[in-house]
Amino acid sequence: MLRPAPVYIIASPSQKVGKTLIARRLIEFFQARGRAVEGYDLQARKSALAERFPYLVRSIDIGDTRGQMKVFDQLLADNTTTKIVDLGSGPFDQFFAVMDKIDFVAEARQRFIEPIVLFVADPETETARTYRELQRRLKPAIFVPIDNEAVSVAFAARDFPVSRIECGAIRVARLSPLVRRVVDWPNFSFSAYIAELDGQTQMHQWICPILSKFRELELQLLAGRLASSLSGAGSAVDQSGWIS
Protein backbone atom coordinates (compact mmCIF):
# COMPACT_ATOMS: atom_id res chain seq x y z
CA MET A 1 0.00 0.00 0.00
CA LEU A 2 1.27 3.46 -0.91
CA ARG A 3 1.96 5.55 2.19
CA PRO A 4 0.28 8.98 2.16
CA ALA A 5 2.87 11.70 1.53
CA PRO A 6 2.37 14.40 4.15
CA VAL A 7 3.05 18.10 3.68
CA TYR A 8 3.65 19.51 7.16
CA ILE A 9 2.98 23.26 7.26
CA ILE A 10 4.38 24.64 10.52
CA ALA A 11 2.67 27.98 11.00
CA SER A 12 1.67 30.77 13.34
CA PRO A 13 0.73 34.41 12.80
CA SER A 14 3.09 35.27 15.68
CA GLN A 15 6.86 35.62 15.73
CA LYS A 16 9.34 33.66 17.86
CA VAL A 17 7.05 30.81 18.86
CA GLY A 18 9.37 27.91 17.92
CA LYS A 19 8.30 27.11 14.34
CA THR A 20 11.82 26.64 12.98
CA LEU A 21 12.87 24.46 15.93
CA ILE A 22 9.94 22.14 15.24
CA ALA A 23 10.77 22.09 11.52
CA ARG A 24 14.36 21.12 12.32
CA ARG A 25 13.23 18.28 14.53
CA LEU A 26 10.82 16.98 11.89
CA ILE A 27 13.45 16.99 9.14
CA GLU A 28 15.88 15.01 11.28
CA PHE A 29 13.11 12.66 12.38
CA PHE A 30 12.26 11.69 8.81
CA GLN A 31 15.91 11.51 7.76
CA ALA A 32 16.59 9.08 10.61
CA ARG A 33 13.72 6.90 9.39
CA GLY A 34 15.19 6.75 5.89
CA ARG A 35 12.40 8.81 4.34
CA ALA A 36 12.88 11.18 1.42
CA VAL A 37 12.32 14.66 2.85
CA GLU A 38 12.65 18.23 1.64
CA GLY A 39 11.96 21.57 3.27
CA TYR A 40 10.71 24.98 2.28
CA ASP A 41 11.73 28.10 4.20
CA LEU A 42 9.11 30.80 3.68
CA GLN A 43 10.42 33.28 6.22
CA ALA A 44 10.14 36.94 5.26
CA ARG A 45 13.61 37.78 6.58
CA LYS A 46 16.31 35.41 7.82
CA SER A 47 16.09 31.91 6.35
CA ALA A 48 17.32 30.02 9.41
CA LEU A 49 16.05 26.61 8.28
CA ALA A 50 17.61 26.91 4.83
CA GLU A 51 20.92 27.94 6.38
CA ARG A 52 20.95 24.86 8.60
CA PHE A 53 19.97 22.40 5.84
CA PRO A 54 21.32 24.01 2.63
CA TYR A 55 20.98 20.82 0.57
CA LEU A 56 17.49 19.92 1.76
CA VAL A 57 15.67 23.21 2.24
CA ARG A 58 14.73 25.79 -0.38
CA SER A 59 14.21 29.40 0.61
CA ILE A 60 11.39 30.89 -1.47
CA ASP A 61 9.97 34.41 -1.45
CA ILE A 62 6.20 34.23 -1.96
CA GLY A 63 5.75 37.98 -2.12
CA ASP A 64 4.91 37.78 -5.81
CA THR A 65 2.92 35.49 -8.09
CA ARG A 66 6.01 33.72 -9.41
CA GLY A 67 7.13 32.71 -5.92
CA GLN A 68 3.63 31.55 -5.00
CA MET A 69 3.34 29.40 -8.12
CA LYS A 70 6.79 27.96 -7.51
CA VAL A 71 6.19 26.81 -3.96
CA PHE A 72 2.73 25.32 -4.53
CA ASP A 73 3.81 23.58 -7.73
CA GLN A 74 6.71 21.99 -5.86
CA LEU A 75 4.53 20.92 -2.96
CA LEU A 76 2.37 19.03 -5.47
CA ALA A 77 5.18 17.71 -7.63
CA ASP A 78 6.06 14.45 -5.85
CA ASN A 79 3.92 12.12 -3.74
CA THR A 80 6.85 10.03 -2.52
CA THR A 81 8.61 12.78 -0.54
CA THR A 82 7.64 14.17 2.85
CA LYS A 83 7.70 17.98 2.77
CA ILE A 84 8.24 20.41 5.64
CA VAL A 85 7.15 24.04 5.26
CA ASP A 86 8.49 26.59 7.77
CA LEU A 87 5.98 29.40 7.29
CA GLY A 88 7.01 32.75 8.75
CA SER A 89 4.57 35.18 10.31
CA GLY A 90 5.20 37.70 7.51
CA PRO A 91 3.88 35.59 4.61
CA PHE A 92 1.36 33.74 6.83
CA ASP A 93 -1.79 35.45 5.53
CA GLN A 94 -0.64 35.42 1.92
CA PHE A 95 0.26 31.72 1.95
CA PHE A 96 -3.08 30.58 3.31
CA ALA A 97 -5.01 32.98 1.08
CA VAL A 98 -3.39 31.40 -1.99
CA MET A 99 -3.83 27.90 -0.54
CA ASP A 100 -7.55 28.59 -0.17
CA LYS A 101 -7.93 30.27 -3.57
CA ILE A 102 -6.37 27.44 -5.59
CA ASP A 103 -8.14 24.72 -3.53
CA PHE A 104 -4.75 23.24 -2.71
CA VAL A 105 -6.08 20.64 -0.27
CA ALA A 106 -8.38 19.01 -2.83
CA GLU A 107 -5.67 19.00 -5.50
CA ALA A 108 -3.12 17.53 -3.07
CA ARG A 109 -5.42 14.70 -2.02
CA GLN A 110 -6.09 13.78 -5.63
CA ARG A 111 -2.33 13.27 -5.89
CA PHE A 112 -2.19 11.19 -2.69
CA ILE A 113 -0.64 14.01 -0.68
CA GLU A 114 -1.98 14.97 2.75
CA PRO A 115 -1.62 18.62 3.92
CA ILE A 116 -1.23 18.88 7.71
CA VAL A 117 -1.11 22.28 9.41
CA LEU A 118 0.93 22.22 12.62
CA PHE A 119 -0.32 25.44 14.18
CA VAL A 120 1.80 26.80 17.04
CA ALA A 121 -0.55 28.25 19.65
CA ASP A 122 -0.01 31.27 21.88
CA PRO A 123 -2.13 33.08 24.50
CA GLU A 124 -3.34 35.88 22.18
CA THR A 125 -7.09 35.91 21.53
CA GLU A 126 -6.46 36.88 17.91
CA THR A 127 -4.32 33.77 17.38
CA ALA A 128 -7.16 31.47 18.45
CA ARG A 129 -9.57 33.37 16.19
CA THR A 130 -7.15 33.00 13.26
CA TYR A 131 -6.84 29.27 13.93
CA ARG A 132 -10.59 28.70 13.87
CA GLU A 133 -11.00 30.81 10.73
CA LEU A 134 -8.33 28.81 8.92
CA GLN A 135 -10.01 25.58 9.95
CA ARG A 136 -13.26 26.86 8.49
CA ARG A 137 -11.71 27.98 5.20
CA LEU A 138 -9.48 24.92 4.74
CA LYS A 139 -11.80 22.39 6.33
CA PRO A 140 -10.55 19.25 4.55
CA ALA A 141 -7.01 19.86 5.82
CA ILE A 142 -5.85 18.29 9.08
CA PHE A 143 -5.07 20.89 11.77
CA VAL A 144 -2.94 19.84 14.74
CA PRO A 145 -2.22 22.50 17.38
CA ILE A 146 1.26 22.72 18.90
CA ASP A 147 1.28 23.53 22.61
CA ASN A 148 4.74 25.09 23.08
CA GLU A 149 5.21 25.50 26.82
CA ALA A 150 7.84 28.19 26.23
CA VAL A 151 5.19 30.35 24.53
CA SER A 152 1.86 29.45 26.13
CA VAL A 153 1.99 28.53 29.80
CA ALA A 154 -1.75 27.80 30.01
CA PHE A 155 -2.75 26.10 26.75
CA ALA A 156 -6.54 26.21 26.27
CA ALA A 157 -7.46 23.16 24.19
CA ARG A 158 -10.99 24.48 23.62
CA ASP A 159 -9.52 27.47 21.73
CA PHE A 160 -7.52 25.22 19.38
CA PRO A 161 -9.70 22.19 18.55
CA VAL A 162 -8.10 19.44 16.49
CA SER A 163 -9.54 18.61 13.08
CA ARG A 164 -10.03 14.93 13.87
CA ILE A 165 -10.72 13.39 17.23
CA GLU A 166 -7.75 11.01 16.96
CA CYS A 167 -5.23 13.78 16.24
CA GLY A 168 -4.53 15.38 19.60
CA ALA A 169 -2.46 18.48 20.30
CA ILE A 170 1.32 18.03 20.36
CA ARG A 171 2.97 19.39 23.50
CA VAL A 172 6.50 20.80 23.32
CA ALA A 173 8.08 21.14 26.76
CA ARG A 174 10.18 24.15 27.75
CA LEU A 175 13.93 23.83 27.37
CA SER A 176 16.29 25.37 29.88
CA PRO A 177 18.28 28.39 28.60
CA LEU A 178 21.50 26.36 28.66
CA VAL A 179 20.08 23.49 26.60
CA ARG A 180 18.47 25.93 24.18
CA ARG A 181 21.85 27.57 23.55
CA VAL A 182 23.31 24.14 22.76
CA VAL A 183 20.44 23.40 20.36
CA ASP A 184 21.15 26.66 18.54
CA TRP A 185 24.78 25.75 17.80
CA PRO A 186 25.29 25.71 13.99
CA ASN A 187 26.39 22.05 13.89
CA PHE A 188 24.05 20.64 16.52
CA SER A 189 22.13 17.53 15.45
CA PHE A 190 19.23 16.10 17.45
CA SER A 191 19.70 12.66 15.89
CA ALA A 192 23.44 12.52 16.64
CA TYR A 193 22.87 13.61 20.22
CA ILE A 194 20.20 10.98 20.82
CA ALA A 195 22.35 8.25 19.27
CA GLU A 196 25.44 9.06 21.34
CA LEU A 197 23.99 9.61 24.83
CA ASP A 198 21.67 7.68 27.13
CA GLY A 199 18.03 8.56 27.65
CA GLN A 200 18.32 10.42 30.95
CA THR A 201 19.15 13.91 29.72
CA GLN A 202 16.76 16.84 29.44
CA MET A 203 17.16 16.66 25.67
CA HIS A 204 15.88 13.08 25.59
CA GLN A 205 12.97 14.00 27.82
CA TRP A 206 12.14 16.87 25.46
CA ILE A 207 12.48 14.98 22.18
CA CYS A 208 10.95 11.56 22.89
CA PRO A 209 7.34 12.66 23.61
CA ILE A 210 7.36 14.81 20.45
CA LEU A 211 8.60 11.92 18.32
CA SER A 212 5.98 9.61 19.81
CA LYS A 213 3.22 12.02 18.80
CA PHE A 214 4.52 12.29 15.23
CA ARG A 215 4.78 8.51 14.94
CA GLU A 216 1.20 8.26 16.20
CA LEU A 217 0.01 10.88 13.70
CA GLU A 218 1.68 9.09 10.79
CA LEU A 219 0.18 5.76 11.83
CA GLN A 220 -3.25 7.37 11.92
CA LEU A 221 -2.78 8.65 8.37
CA LEU A 222 -1.83 5.17 7.21
CA ALA A 223 -4.74 3.62 9.10
CA GLY A 224 -7.10 6.11 7.46
CA ARG A 225 -5.87 5.03 4.04
CA LEU A 226 -6.29 1.35 4.95
CA ALA A 227 -9.84 1.95 6.19
CA SER A 228 -10.66 3.75 2.95
CA SER A 229 -9.32 0.88 0.86
CA LEU A 230 -11.29 -1.73 2.80
CA SER A 231 -14.58 0.13 2.89
CA GLY A 232 -14.58 1.09 -0.79
CA ALA A 233 -16.88 3.77 -2.11
CA GLY A 234 -19.29 5.00 0.53
CA SER A 235 -20.62 8.00 2.35
CA ALA A 236 -17.61 8.19 4.64
CA VAL A 237 -15.02 8.06 1.87
CA ASP A 238 -14.44 10.74 -0.73
CA GLN A 239 -13.46 10.11 -4.34
CA SER A 240 -9.75 10.51 -3.65
CA GLY A 241 -9.85 7.57 -1.21
CA TRP A 242 -9.54 9.57 2.01
CA ILE A 243 -11.87 9.37 4.98
CA SER A 244 -13.99 12.51 5.01
DSSP letters spanning the chain: -PPPEEEEEEE-SSSSSSHHHHHHHHHHHHHHTT--EEEEEE-SS--HHHHHSTTTEEE---SSHHHHHHHHHHHTS-SSSEEEEEE-SSSHHHHHHHHHHTTHHHHHHHTTEEEEEEEEP-S-HHHHHHHHHHHHHTTTSEEEEEEETTT-SS--GGGS--SSTTS--EEEPPPPHHHHHHHTSTT--HHHHHHHS-TTSHHHHHHHHHHHHHHHHHHHHHHHHHHHHHH-SBTTB-TTS-B-
Which pLDDT score, from 0 to 100, does residue 242 have?
35
Residues 121 and 131: beta-carbon distance below 8 Å: yes
Which pLDDT score, from 0 to 100, does residue 198 have?
64
Q: Is residue 241 part of a domain?
A: no
Say if residue 231's pLDDT is above 70.
Answer: no
| Average of per-residue pLDDT across 6-15 | 94
Q: Is residue 236 part of a domain?
A: no
pLDDT tens for residues 116-165?
999 999 888 899 999 999 999 998 899 999 998 888 767 788 889 888 76
User: Comparing 241 with 99, which gets the higher pLDDT?
Assistant: 99
Q: Is residue 240 part of a domain?
A: no
Which pLDDT score, from 0 to 100, does residue 228 have?
58
Here the CATH number for the domain that contains residue 194 is 3.40.50.300
Q: Is residue 242 part of a domain?
A: no
Report the domain count for the chain: 1
pLDDT tens for residues 179-194?
888 888 888 888 887 7
User: Comparing 43 with 100, which gets the higher pLDDT?
Assistant: 100
Say if residue 42's pLDDT is above 80.
Answer: yes
Q: Is residue 239 part of a domain?
A: no
Which pLDDT score, from 0 to 100, does residue 175 have?
84
Q: Is residue 141 part of a domain?
A: yes
Domain with 163 in it: 5-231
Q: Is residue 155 part of a domain?
A: yes
Say if residue 236's pLDDT is above 50.
Answer: no
Which pLDDT score, from 0 to 100, does residue 98 have?
96
Burial 127-162, CB ≥16 within 10 A → b, else e: bbebbeebbeebebbbbbbbbbeebbeebeeebbeb
| Average of per-residue pLDDT across 211-221 | 80
Say if residue 244's pLDDT is above 50.
Answer: no
Q: Is residue 197 part of a domain?
A: yes
Reported as a pLDDT band with limits 50, 70 and 90, residue 4 is confident
Say if residue 74's pLDDT is above 90.
Answer: yes
